[in-house]
Structure 1
Amino acid sequence: MITLFAFSPGLTEPSVSPFCTKVIYLLKMANADWQRENILNPRAMPHGKVPVAQINGQMIADSHLIQAALEARGADFYAGLGPAARATGQAVMRMIEDMPLKALVHDRWATKHAWPICREAFFADVPGPVRHLVGAMVRRQVVRGLAAEGLTRMTDAERMAIVSHELRALSDLRGDQPFVLGETVTAADAACLAVLGAISHLPVETPLRARVRGDAALMDYIARVREAIMPA
């Protein structure tokens, strides 16, 4: 039995963390025998972060390392695909988890109209009297990180120019195929769904959410991947 330590569900996603959500999708795809333990404060976890998977008594941190551990147990997230396609899938994962994910974090944590809603989702398990205080402390840390990455120094137009370039690249790569690498859903699609699904479920309108929701082909792709991994 695998135990996944993850942040709780929220904002219409399996977890408020896209990395935790991605691991949930990978566990589903692997048909793994697993259970979930929701974590509010990950400080006691390896690296002080989640997701973390306990596999055969070993605590494995980081979604990419968890994927590797599942593959070592026999999961094949790129079944029937050769080395070039597998390398492309890895590159897609890195791309979607770069600027699109960082822009999502920006819109959740650094925009005044989204933050109050996100705070209630992120810290729902924190008692009301201290929720605002804890949320403000964590928010300061996140916003400092965004500033170090340059996200809060960009205008919306600058941020969106980069994100749109990467989303166009994803669409160009997929072309008319149902999934990124062809007819079969892969780990790359799981990563894309984790990020793009969370963007589409931003609780308020932002240029980022509008870009994703306004792309009919991209929204169809999101729905197709979700149905393939977690059918209703």
Structure 2
Amino acid sequence: MITLVTFAPSFGQPAASPFCVKAIWLLNMSGQPWQREDIADPRSVPRQKLPALRAGDDIIPDSDNIRHYLEQQGADFDRGLSELDKATSRAFIRMAEEHMYFHVVLDRWGDDSVWPTIRDTYFGMIPRLLRGIVTRKLRKTCLDGMHAQGLGRLSPQERLARIEPDLQAITTRLWHGRFLFGDQPTAADASVAAMLANMIATPGQTLLKTRISEDAVLRHYVERSSDAMGKPSNAASAKLCA
């Protein structure tokens, strides 16, 4: 059976990282029986990042590569989509993973009121006396990277204005159905809804969390997505019970 190596559940989400949530949802939709292995330190896996999928002797890092592997095994996450819709889906995935994600990072690592909870949740395995010393350097490295990327130079109000067109684009797509491309979830939902879910789950009360939590369209979309993709498909459940 394939094994997803992932961060443990946190803040009401099945994993601390939206990319791990995405991988969990893709696995559930794939029909493959699978199991999870929670670890806190990803340095033992390729690229030293999670999620990673263990399939036999192979370890497949990165949620995009996991999607590709599952598709090679027969999964069709974009069943019924036109070529135009598939192109739009790719753009939504990149919007979520290459822009929206960094807003999650800054809400969690950059907000002084949120950071202590993040530190003690993400790095609870480090003895308390050492935790502050170790994580202070990690946080500085992360925020230096966000400053270089650009979003770290913006105020929370400016960041909210920057992400607003993304949120409006998601809302516009949802005019067409329960999910981004109709009444069944696709690969785009596994990325976009996982990102929104992590924004809502961030501890404290950041501007971004409030914006999404108070938007009924986005909040209900996250709830539908979690209900639809948060459990194994019937095929996988049958295999697990066999």
Identity %: 37
Give the C-alpha shift of residue 200 in structure 1: 0.6
Task: State the structure with bigger RCO (CA 8 A, min sep 6), 1 or 2.
Answer: 2
Q: Which residue number corresponds to residue 75 of structure 1?
A: 75
Deviation at 1:179, TM superposition (A): 0.4
Q: Which residue pairs with 2:8 in the alignment?
A: 8
- Report if the CA contact (8 A) 1:119-1:135 is conserved: yes
Mean CA deviation greater in 125-134 or 56-65: 125-134
Report how far residue 90 of structure 1 moved. 1.5
Letter of the 2:197 partner, please give it.
Answer: G
Correspondence 1:122 to 2:125: no
Partner of 1:137: 137
Does residue 58 of structure 1 match 2:45?
no
Q: Secondary structure at the match of 2:146?
A: helix
For this pair of structures, how many residues does the alignment match?
232
Query: CA separation in 1, counterparts of 2:127 and 2:14?
Result: 22
Output the TM-score relative to the length of structure 2. Answer: 0.91
- Superposition deviation, residue 102 in structure 1: 0.6
How far apart, CA to CA, are the structure 1 residues paired with 2:31 and 2:22?
A: 14
8 Å CA contact 2:6, 2:51 repeated in 1: yes
Question: How large is the RMSD of aligned CA atoms in angstroms?
Answer: 1.6
Determine if contact 1:99/1:162 at 8 Å carries over to the other structure: no
Q: Which residue does the alignment assign to 1:194?
A: 194
Q: What are the within-5 Å matches in structure 2 for residues 206-221 of structure 1?
A: 206-221=206-221
Q: Which runs of 5+ in 2 are unaligned?
A: 232-242
Distance (Å, rounded) in 2 between the aligned partners of 1:10 and 1:126: 17
Write the distance in 1 (CA, Å) between the matches of 2:159 and 2:135: 25
Task: Within 5 Å, give how 1:1-232 maps onto structure 2.
Answer: 1-230=1-230
In the TM superposition, what is the alpha-carbon distance from 1:160 to its structure 2 partner?
Answer: 1.0
- Report the secondary structure of 2:199's partner residue: helix
Does structure 2 conserve the Cα–Cα contact (< 8 Å) formed by 1:11 and 1:121? no
1:97 aligned counterpart, secondary structure: helix
- Show structure 1 runs of 4+ deviating over 2 A: 124-135
Report the AA paired with residue 105 of structure 1: V
